[in-house]
Amino acid sequence: MSTPSKIGPNSIIQTVAALEAKFGKKEAEVLLKKIGQGHYIGNLPSEMIEESKFHAMVTALQKEIGDKVTAGILKESGERTARYLLKVRIPGIFQKLVKLLPSRPAFKLFLFAISKNAWTFAGSGEFSYIMNRPPEITVKVTYPTHPVVGNFYLGTFTALLQELVNPKTKIKTDIRQEKKIILCKYRCEI
């Protein structure tokens, strides 16, 4: 039997933070308990987690609070994850270098660097990008979950690209379920 794929703990940490920002701490805790995720209250992960834990939270939230609210929570969670990455994980010297480049080369260098660590958010899925006009990022989520999960990646990519490549970056999404895969395409106007 293969080992379960793992992803970064920010998927859970920042989703809980986004819930607290939206509903307040008490109501967020009530919601987490109601959807069977109460074990995270005061006990957020500090190491890589099995991707199943994040997807279980996404699916439970979607069933309880619906697509629209869950999409907003996950987009906010992705933005918070991006801020964490900029502060703690992406070296300052790399950030300065990318910001010095014109948008397209900056995008290409940044996405090349991300592709080396894509497993930390894609888990068992796949990450790719192409330098079309406009460039496009693709995340294939192969773990069973709800398509609303694509908003987490949207928030992360938008915040990172606006900070490092071009503050006017806009992303058009095409998130769809194709058989057992959730295909998330992000066309980036940089």
pLDDT digits (tens, 9 = 90+) for 159-184: 999 999 999 999 999 999 999 999 99
Q: Is the pLDDT of residue 3 over 90?
A: no
Query: Quick one: pLDDT at residue 1?
Result: 61
Span 94-114, mean pLDDT?
A: 96
Global pTM value: 0.96
Question: 135: which DSSP letter?
Answer: -
Q: Which domains does the chain have, with CATH numbers?
A: 6-189 (3.90.1520.10)
Return the percentage of the chain with pLDDT > 70, whole number. 99
CA 102, 105, 111, 117 torsion: positive or negative?
negative
pLDDT digits (tens, 9 = 90+) for 10-57: 999 999 999 999 999 999 999 999 999 999 999 999 999 999 999 999
pLDDT digits (tens, 9 = 90+) for 124-135: 999 999 999 999
Helix ranges (H only) for the chain are: 10-23, 25-34, 51-84, 92-100, 103-115, 119-122, 150-164
How many Cβ atoms from other residues are within 10 Å of residue 131's Cβ?
12
Are 150 and 175 spatial neighbours (Cβ–Cβ below 8 Å)?
A: yes
In angstroms and rounded to an integer, the radius of gyration of the C-alpha atoms of the chain is 16
**From CA 80, how far away is CA 4, in angstroms rounded?**
25
